[in-house]
Amino acid sequence: VQLQASGGGTVQPGGSLRLSCAASETILGLYLMRWFRQAPGKEREIVASITSTDYSTYADSVKGRFTISRDIAKNTIFLQMNSLKPNNTAIYLCNFRQANISGPQDFWGQGTLVTVSS
């Protein structure tokens, strides 16, 4: 299984971007899908998550501005980012977690760069 993230780019403060992350195939037992980000010189942090029952959570810093969603038929998740700020600049990575007899298995996308700058 491969995850392909896309949608990053350069945007001015206050602008919007929509990230996508598509799995190359249906993942049986998939129960959790997440967006992380890693800014230069900082640790990776979780941005948003959505479960197989469509329960979503957000980091406090993005609540009300970012929305995570998914398209089951297309094995794809999205991250709609509005009112972007310069400190949102980072590489955004998607993660799909699968339930497995031996424990959860994670799949990672390659990341997509988001730059917020005037």
What is the per-residue pLDDT across 48-96, written as a single tens digit (0 to 9) for each?
A: 999 999 999 999 999 999 999 999 888 999 999 999 999 999 999 999 9
Task: Say how many Å lie between the first and final Cα of the chain, rounded.
Answer: 37
* Mean pLDDT for all residues in the chain: 96
What is the per-residue pLDDT across 6-36, written as a single tens digit (0 to 9) for each?
A: 999 999 999 999 999 999 999 999 999 999 9
Separation in Å, CA 84 to CA 13, 15, 37, 64, 74:
5, 5, 14, 11, 27
pLDDT of residue 82: 98
pLDDT of residue 92: 98
> Which tokens go with 43?
């640790």
